[in-house]
Structure 1
Amino acid sequence: MERRDVLADAAIAVLADAGMRGLTHRAVDAAAGLAEGTSSYYFRTRAALLQACVDRLAAQTLTEVPRGGSGPGSVEALVDASVAVVGRWLTADRARLLARWELALESTRRPELGTALRDAGRRIRERVAGALHGLGIADPERRADDLVACLDGLAFDQLAGAGPDRDGAALRSAIADVVHGFTATPD
């Protein structure tokens, strides 16, 4: 793993543990187990460190979304993959999810960060749209926006305790309702 990725992962962990106020170059160096000053050598400013977090989160998320032709072979496979992703976000990748929300909130005060997050989100939604197109789902760009918003909302509700406590079956049911809704014929 490259040093920049190690530092970005450490910054993501700091964001998840200590929030935006806790994100300092010194805290990132400590989290990465590297000498003081290492992160500021690679990412001179706080803005550069935030950009590194956005870039790393986007790269990791893109690995979870199959490319067009290698997408899920069926609508049920898409549901299964979506459930697995949200499940991972809520467990093994919880820090990534918390860090992304910290960045999203900060982007309301930092327009350049908002631009970076929108660009990253656009790349992810384009990849999702490709998978939906591969399944023959109509209007895949709009539906990709809907699916990503649904998955984000379900993850937020579950992790923040803002909505009902869903077990795996309830989570699958909610995602299946949305995805199957894409294939329904309008009356």
Structure 2
Amino acid sequence: MERDRKTVIADAAIALLASAGSKGLTHRAVDAEAGLPAGSTSFYCRTRQELLTVALLRHAALDMADLQADAHRMAQAEWRADDFIDLLAERVADWLSPSKRARLVARFELFMMASRDPELAAIVTQQRQHFLLATEAALSRAGVADPAGVAPMVLVLVDALLLDQIRASGPVLSLSQQKAMFRMVLKGEPR
């Protein structure tokens, strides 16, 4: 039961971070967002730090589940670098989709908070290692040379594309432009 309640709390915290930012994230606001009795969030997460930690870990788990689904898809057939480029573009589009947009906004809110909080930064660093390993495995499966060297660049490029496109107040890169960027990183080809 406790795990389910913490998941509900974490999901509500993610929703609040997306809609109200870090200033809107309070125990009381999480209770209201989750439809829980007053004091529930404080019972499961005594401090704001604990609340941010469960939100950050839940967010990472949701993103990792998406990457695991991608890995399962890759295991079903032979993959080349071009197939992986298509998959990366699809992953970016999925994380920018209306159903996941709030989660993406919360991600960058959490990253900004982690830039000023050593405890959160340590969690982000630890979770990033999981993402690096998953990316490295996918690159290896796609036959990309030097997966360990390319994986960090892929993560940075995905984050940059997401951050650039989530603002939505300016022009966004086309699908062909995104694929060209991925191709440059994976294959060293300009276009």
**TM exceeds 0.5?**
yes
Residue 125 (structure 1) aligned with residue 132 (structure 2)? yes
Assess if the C-alpha contact under 8 Å between 1:62 and 1:124 holds in 2. Answer: yes
C-alpha RMSD of matched pairs (Å): 2.3
- Deviation of the 1:84 alpha carbon: 1.9
Corresponding residue for 2:156? 149
- The size of the alignment, in residue pairs, is 182
Assess if the C-alpha contact under 8 Å between 2:96 and 2:162 holds in 1. Answer: yes
Corresponding residue for 1:55? 57
Cα separation, 2, equivalents of 1:39 and 1:5: 11
Secondary structure in 2 matching 1:165 = coil
What's the % identity of the aligned pairs? 36
- For residue 167 of structure 2, the aligned residue among 148, 160, 163 is 160
- Deviation of the 1:181 alpha carbon: 4.4
Q: Which amino acid aligns with 1:112?
A: E
- Deviation of the 1:106 alpha carbon: 1.1
Greater mean alpha carbon deviation, residues 4-13 or residues 140-149: 140-149
Cα separation, 2, equivalents of 1:67 and 1:137: 20
Corresponding residue for 2:93? 87
TM-score (norm 2): 0.85
Output aligned runs, 1:34-113, within 5 Å: 34-66=36-68, 70=72, 72=74, 73-91=79-97, 92-113=99-120
Assess if the C-alpha contact under 8 Å between 2:94 and 2:100 holds in 1. Answer: yes
**Runs of 4+ residues over 6 Å off in structure 1:** none
Cα separation, 2, equivalents of 1:22 and 1:74: 45
Residue-by-residue CA offset, 1:42-70 (whole Å, 9 max, x unaligned):
11111111111111111111112138974
Residue-by-residue CA offset, 1:12-44 (whole Å, 9 max, x unaligned):
000000000110011111111111111111111
Greater mean alpha carbon deviation, residues 27-36 or residues 70-79: 70-79
Cα separation, 1, equivalents of 2:160 and 2:71: 27
Structure 2 spans left out of the alignment, 5+ residues: none
- Deviation of the 1:10 alpha carbon: 0.4
Residue 30 (structure 1) aligned with residue 32 (structure 2)? yes
Cα separation, 2, equivalents of 1:180 and 1:70: 25
Cα separation, 1, equivalents of 2:184 and 2:114: 33
Cα separation, 1, equivalents of 2:176 and 2:58: 28
